[in-house]
């Protein structure tokens, strides 16, 4: 091949690669992107949110960056966020579909499935089934209270040592969703289950790490011996665990006597098959994807909230004491609080909401995508565009909060000590794709937290040094591993 031909082909390739990272006319602005890697090298993956904030200072509340050759629109601030999530929520209700999402999520389930009939039927079925098994009812409250007894007993075994509560809190929280979905709980000394929970944590961090994002941007590196390979071994282990749970259910179930979500889904699947229509939406792959979504989402975010709550109680012992006094006053001589007691406990509710505001457990929510070409803030966003809602920007907005950059329950209280409803507080997102487990999570956080403070005082491992409140960034914002000193109140 002549040299001139080679040079021509190289120029054509370079031109194509530059074109791939060129923003269309009227598209949200953003930093200049490089071919192939886009803006990945301009992001600080140890402090990802800071990078996004700096971009926003330059380009405004709606801007774009390239993750590889894929343009991603980031939305910050209350006005634009309400427009995307609520006012025109259906226009932005899709999920981005690419090779990575199909490989990990199969475009099915409850979280990453595209918006449409199948997703809507699964969300409706899941909400209905979870209610049937007690979510939002006294029976669910009893289940959480019973699990808190195991948790408190485990804490008491370790009250004379510096204790890391990481795994036990994870296990206790996960047992609630496991009860609903699998019909069982796992003992705290179950090493297999401990391994699965640790892998879930690792996966949530890896997916947003530099190597995880590099794989998303450059799918051709899939088989190279690089750190992103851990993503595949982790998901294989999680899938194997849930696959065994599902197969055991299929062998042991009694038709007409559903024990849990899996049994109810299998009955729904059989009923749909009997109807012999061509619009079947239930199936084994969708069931499995729902199991993955419910197990991971039902464990990770709630356990992170509780661990942050423990850390902040140690960091602010005066706030811990005020919560405890309110708990004792409302509880009286009863063994425990009821979920309904929260209406008489504005300070404790304010503290829990402040934990969620200040840490923003899921800082970027879950990715959205446009169902059609839309206008946003004067920009044109084509159908199928990847949209990220920066929920952390709401929770630190200086125009919305009295103390935006400090941990202070007064952010949720008026001058009379009454609980405020804050429009900029969206820990579970909003709109048609909001978290379906919000009610369960709120109940768990309140009941577990109040049980903690009923039975213990929580102190830093080193009284002369405050705890490290630096988060580990991932799909979820989780605290670093920590140890605490427990003092029994009983």
pLDDT in tens, 80-124: 999 999 999 999 999 997 766 677 777 889 999 999 999 999 999
Closest CA to 291 of 334, 219, 241: 241
pLDDT in tens, 57-77: 999 999 999 988 889 999 999
pTM for the model stands at 0.93
Based on the fold, state whether residues 49 and 149 are members of the same structural domain. no
Domain carrying residue 296: 91-312+427-488
Based on the fold, state whether residues 369 and 301 are members of the same structural domain. no
Q: What is the DSSP secondary structure assignment for residue 187, as one 8-state letter?
A: -
Q: Which of 283-287, 309-313, 341-345 has the lowest mean pLDDT?
A: 283-287
Q: What is the DSSP secondary structure assignment for residue 84, as one 8-state letter?
A: I
pLDDT tier at 14 (50, 70, 90 boundaries)? low
Q: Which of 61-70, 175-184, 203-212, 331-340 has the lowest mean pLDDT?
A: 203-212
Please count the residues of the chain: 490
Cα–Cα distance for residue pair 22/441, rounded to 1 Å = 42
pLDDT of residue 21: 65
Cα–Cα distance for residue pair 151/455, rounded to 1 Å = 11
Q: How many helices (H) and strands (E) does the chain have?
A: 16, 10
> What percentage of the chain exceeds 90 in pLDDT?
71
Q: Is the pLDDT of residue 9 over 80?
A: no
Cβ atoms of residues 417 and 358 within 8 Å: no
Q: Is the pLDDT of residue 17 over 60?
A: no
Kind of pairing, strands 386-389 and 70-75? parallel
Which are the contacts of 302, defined by CB distance < 8 A and separation ≥ 6?
A: 173, 441, 444, 445
More confident residue, 154 or 280: 154
Which are the contacts of 122, defined by CB distance < 8 A and separation ≥ 6?
A: 109, 110, 113, 281, 282, 286, 290
Based on the fold, state whether residues 28 and 102 are members of the same structural domain. no
Q: Is the pLDDT of residue 16 over 50?
A: no
Residue 194 lies in a domain: yes
pLDDT tier at 2 (50, 70, 90 boundaries)? low
Cβ neighbourhood burial of 11 (10 Å; 0-12, 13-18, 19+): exposed
The CA-based angle 62-65-67, given to 5 degrees, is: 140
Based on the fold, state whether residues 67 and 158 are members of the same structural domain. no
Instruction: State mean pLDDT over 276-295.
Output: 86
Q: Is the pLDDT of residue 20 over 70?
A: no
Q: CATH number for the domain including 444?
A: 1.10.630.10
Residue 317 lies in a domain: no
Q: What is the DSSP secondary structure assignment for residue 380, as one 8-state letter?
A: E
Q: Count the neighbouring beta carbons within 10 Å of the beta carbon of residue 124.
A: 11
């Amino acid at each position: 091949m002549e040299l001139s031909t080679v040079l021509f082909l190289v120029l054509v390739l370079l031109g194509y690669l530059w074109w791939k990272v060129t923003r269309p006319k009227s598209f949200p602005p953003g930093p200049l992107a490089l071919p192939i890697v886009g803006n990945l090298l301009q992001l600080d993956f140890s402090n990802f949110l800071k990078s996004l904030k700096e971009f926003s200072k330059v380009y405004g509340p709606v801007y774009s960056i390239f993750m590889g050759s894929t343009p991603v629109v980031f939305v910050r601030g209350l006005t634009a966020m309400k427009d995307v999530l609520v006012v025109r929520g259906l226009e932005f209700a899709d999920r981005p579909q690419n090779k990575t999402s199909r490989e990990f999520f199969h475009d099915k389930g409850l979280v990453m499935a595209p918006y449409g009939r199948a997703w809507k039927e699964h969300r409706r079925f899941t909400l209905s089934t979870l209610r049937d098994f007690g979510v939002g009812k006294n029976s669910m409250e009893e289940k959480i209270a019973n699990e808190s007894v195991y948790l408190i007993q485990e804490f008491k075994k370790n009250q004379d040592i510096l204790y890391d509560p990481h795994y036990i809190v994870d296990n206790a929280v996960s047992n609630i969703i496991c009860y609903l979905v699998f019909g069982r709980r796992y003992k705290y000394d179950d090493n297999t289950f401990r391994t699965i929970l640790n892998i879930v944590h690792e996966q949530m961090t890896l997916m947003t790490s530099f190597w995880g994002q590099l794989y998303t941007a450059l799918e051709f590196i899939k088989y190279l011996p690089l750190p992103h390979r851990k993503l595949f071994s982790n998901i294989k282990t999680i899938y194997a665990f849930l696959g065994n749970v599902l197969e055991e259910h299929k062998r042991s179930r009694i038709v007409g006597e559903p024990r849990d979500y899996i049994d109810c889904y299998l009955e729904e699947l059989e009923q749909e098959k009997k109807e012999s229509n061509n619009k079947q939406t239930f199936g084994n792959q969708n069931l499995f994807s729902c199991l993955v979504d419910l197990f991971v989402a039902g464990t990770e975010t709630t356990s992170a909230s509780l661990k942050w709550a423990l850390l902040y109680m140690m960091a602010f012992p005066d706030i811990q004491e005020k919560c405890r006094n309110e708990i004792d006053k409302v509880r009286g001589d009863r063994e425990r609080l009821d979920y309904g007691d929260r209406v008489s406990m504005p300070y404790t509710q304010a503290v829990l909401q402040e934990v969620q505001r200040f840490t923003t457990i899921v800082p970027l929510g879950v990715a959205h995508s446009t169902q059609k070409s839309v206008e946003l803030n004067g920009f044109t966003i084509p159908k199928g565009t990847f949209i990220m809602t920066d929920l952390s920007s709401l929770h630190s907005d200086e125009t919305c909060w009295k103390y935006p950059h400090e941990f202070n329950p007064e952010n949720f209280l008026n001058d009379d000590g009454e609980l405020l409803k804050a429009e900029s507080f969206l820990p579970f997102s909003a709109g048609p794709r909001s978290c379906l487990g919000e009610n369960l999570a709120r109940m768990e956080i309140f009941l577990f937290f109040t049980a903690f403070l009923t039975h213990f005082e929580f102190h830093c491992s080193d009284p002369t040094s405050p705890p490290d409140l630096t988060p580990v960034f991932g799909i979820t914002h989780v605290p670093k591993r920590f140890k605490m000193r427990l003092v029994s109140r009983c």
